[in-house]
């Protein structure tokens, strides 16, 4: 085995947490020939009785390229069949205070993100694992203790009568995928000098269901958009579901939740801020959902390293829980698994693999964690600002007309590519410099041409003709300028 850290061969791995990330990790290890046991605190979510237990996470989420690539790299067929049930979202639909909607496409080349049922995705992964002979699934097992030097874990197993029994387990490698409040991480801290920080943001979230149209049974809003009601300090969003309903989330500072003291203030608030939502959900249901559903916090976690020698590694939210505003939490977790597997399957020893995994992954996860935090502001406020829209338009214009410049919006690189998160940031910084220069060149060129036209021929009539003849020259000159600058960089 690999217990002395010198020779790598598939051996016994224990994965803690059967959420989406843990389940995907189990699939990678199992297909790589490891003996896999997956331990989950809660009951099997495929059993209808246990559904309510898993209700602290929103019902649907946005999956994009990184998540899909994580799935595809281990099982292309499963991926295709999972994606059949996902709903494409081509852009944001912004709803203003009067109920007016305006669409903002995510990508000039029509690439899209997808709304997917979180529970179903998790179930499909568990179903797949169940088919494999080298995988065991253990539900109702909560990690209590990890003795990494001994290669031993203790789980508390919940019995059907509600009592607990202690279960001792040995393994060569422990993979912690047990979410933001990870016990694996907690225990690993005793073995390694682990830097750790966490931050709760001031907003809470609360979920609502928008049913299909009562008469037609159809979607009440365009299903191919992620709907946003941005209101500066708070926002409401809606993602489509297969059954033609929408799952909606209100993100709002805690004190604003506190100001809503009963059904009347709730309706008053919604009628003022999201008037269209009131009729779409219906007053009664709006009130019922608000009273019934929890107001849950949002945590951001950073830590380093993600591993201890050849014994233990943490992935997904356990390593880097982030606020949900870039729609990347699970996508990043799936990318973790693919990256971890790349290291394990190409490095000679497990300790080297885990070491190089942390080294590659930590800077990337810090970047997306920070971007997610910044995007909270973008989603609830900037998407409506003229400056933001102009910049987006200009970037997309360059992406369309000057592809050789390699200009892409950050959103497109994060959501539609597998470029390392940290490289995305580097490219964006480089682009910003170029954009600044091009922007000024365009402005100066425009003023120059306009001035010349005005002087030479009189105002608008012939000015336009001259502009068109000159356009080619100006554009060529700009391109040369940019090329020179890029070459000198």
Binding site for ligand FAD (CB under 6 A): 16-22, 39-42, 57-58, 61-62, 67, 142-143, 177-179, 183, 205, 249, 316-318, 324, 327-331, 333
Query: Closer CB to ligand FAD, residue 46 or residue 430?
Result: 46
Query: Closer CB to ligand FAD, residue 126 or residue 449?
Result: 126
Please state, in angstroms and rounded to a whole number, the distance separating the CA atoms of residues 67 and 417: 10
Q: List Cα–Cα distances, 377 to 13, 148, 273, 319, 425, in angstroms.
A: 41, 41, 18, 24, 18
Which helix (H) or strand (E) segment holds residue 38: the answer is: strand 35-39
Q: Which residue, chain included where needed, has tokens 């290291």?
A: 343
Please state, in angstroms and rounded to a whole number, the distance separating the CA atoms of residues 338 and 151: 24
Q: What are phi and psi of 77, to 5 degrees?
A: -65, -45
Query: Closer CB to ligand FAD, residue 27 or residue 318?
Result: 318
Of 326, 267, 288, 125, residue with least CA distance to 206: 288
Tell me the two tokens of residue 222. 């365009």
DSSP3 helix / strand / coil % (the chain, rounded to 5) = 50, 25, 30
Distant-in-sequence contacts of 280-284, Cβ < 8 A, 24+ apart: 280/210, 280/220, 280/221, 281/208, 281/209, 281/210, 281/211, 281/248, 282/211
As measured in angstroms, the least distance from the Cβ of 246 to ligand FAD is 14
As measured in angstroms, the least distance from the Cβ of 291 to ligand FAD is 19
Which helix (H) or strand (E) segment holds residue 24: the answer is: helix 20-31
Query: Closer CB to ligand FAD, residue 22 or residue 445?
Result: 22
Tell me the two tokens of residue 10. 């598939």
Query: Closer CB to ligand FAD, residue 187 or residue 407?
Result: 187
Query: Closer CB to ligand FAD, residue 221 or residue 435?
Result: 221
Query: Closer CB to ligand FAD, residue 61 or residue 71?
Result: 61
As measured in angstroms, the least distance from the Cβ of 447 to ligand FAD is 44
As measured in angstroms, the least distance from the Cβ of 45 to ligand FAD is 8
Q: What are phi and psi of 401, to 5 degrees?
A: -100, -20
As measured in angstroms, the least distance from the Cβ of 489 to ligand FAD is 34
As measured in angstroms, the least distance from the Cβ of 134 to ligand FAD is 20
As measured in angstroms, the least distance from the Cβ of 10 to ligand FAD is 23
Query: Closer CB to ligand FAD, residue 305 or residue 324?
Result: 324
As measured in angstroms, the least distance from the Cβ of 361 to ligand FAD is 14
Cis peptide preceding 356, ω within 30 of 0: no
* 468 CB neighbour count, 10 Å cutoff: 10
- Provide the residue count of the chain: 489
State the residue number with the nearest CB to ligand FAD. 19
Of the chain, the end-to-end C-alpha distance in Å amounts to: 49
Query: Closer CB to ligand FAD, residue 157 or residue 309?
Result: 157
As measured in angstroms, the least distance from the Cβ of 22 to ligand FAD is 5
Q: Which residue, chain included where needed, has tokens 């987006």?
A: 392
């Amino acid at each position: 085995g690999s217990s002395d850290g010198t020779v790598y061969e598939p051996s016994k791995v224990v994965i803690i947490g059967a959420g989406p990330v843990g389940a995907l990790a189990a699939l990678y290890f199992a297909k790589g020939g490891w003996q896999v046991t997956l331990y989950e605190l809660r009951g099997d979510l495929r059993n209808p009785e246990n559904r309510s237990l898993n209700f602290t996470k929103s019902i649907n989420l946005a999956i994009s390229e990184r998540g899909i690539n994580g799935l595809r790299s281990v099982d292309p067929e499963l991926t295709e069949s999972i994606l059949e049930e996902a709903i494409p979202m081509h852009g944001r639909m912004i709803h203003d205070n009067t109920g007016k909607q305006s669409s903002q496409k995510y990508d000039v080349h029509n690439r899209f993100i997808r709304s997917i049922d979180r529970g179903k995705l998790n179930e499909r992964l568990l179903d797949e694992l169940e088919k494999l002979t080298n995988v065991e699934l253990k539900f109702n097992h909560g990690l209590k203790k990890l003795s990494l030097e001994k290669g031993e874990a203790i789980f508390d197993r919940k019995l059907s009568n509600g009592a607990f029994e202690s279960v001792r387990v040995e393994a060569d490698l422990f993979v912690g995928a047990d979410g933001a409040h990870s016990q694996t991480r907690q225990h690993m801290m005793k073995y390694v000098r682990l830097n750790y920080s966490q931050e709760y943001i001031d907003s809470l979230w609360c979920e609502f269901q928008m049913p299909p149209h009562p008469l037609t049974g159809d979607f009440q809003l365009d299903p191919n958009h992620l709907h946003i009601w941005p209101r500066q300090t708070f926002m409401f969003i809606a993602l489509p579901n297969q059954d033609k309903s929408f799952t909606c989330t209100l993100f709002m500072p805690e004190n604003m939740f506190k100001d809503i003291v009963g059904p009347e203030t709730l309706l008053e608030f919604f009628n003022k801020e999201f008037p269209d939502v009131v009729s779409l959900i219906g007053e009664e249901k709006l009130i019922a959902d608000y009273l019934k559903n929890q107001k849950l916090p949002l945590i951001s976690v950073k830590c380093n390293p993600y591993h201890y020698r050849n014994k233990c590694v943490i992935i997904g939210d356990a390593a880097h829980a982030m606020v949900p505003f870039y729609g990347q939490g699970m996508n990043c977790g799936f990318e973790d698994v693919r990256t971890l597997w790349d290291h394990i399957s190409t490095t000679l020893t497990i300790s080297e693999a885990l070491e190089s995994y942390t080294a590659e992954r930590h800077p990337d996860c810090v970047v997306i964690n920070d971007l997610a935090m910044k995007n909270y502001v973008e989603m609830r406020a900037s998407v409506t600002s003229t400056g933001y829209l102009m910049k987006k338009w200009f970037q997309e214009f360059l992406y369309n007309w000057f592809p050789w410049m390699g200009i892409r919006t950050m959103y497109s690189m994060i959501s539609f590519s597998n470029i390392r998160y940290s490289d995305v940031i580097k490219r964006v910084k480089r682009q910003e410099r170029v954009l600044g220069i091009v922007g000024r060149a365009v402005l100066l060129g425009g003023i120059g041409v306009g001035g010349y036209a005005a002087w030479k021929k009189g105002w608008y009539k012939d000015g336009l003709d001259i502009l068109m003849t000159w356009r080619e020259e100006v554009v060529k000159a700009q391109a040369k300028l940019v090329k020179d600058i890029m070459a000198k960089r």
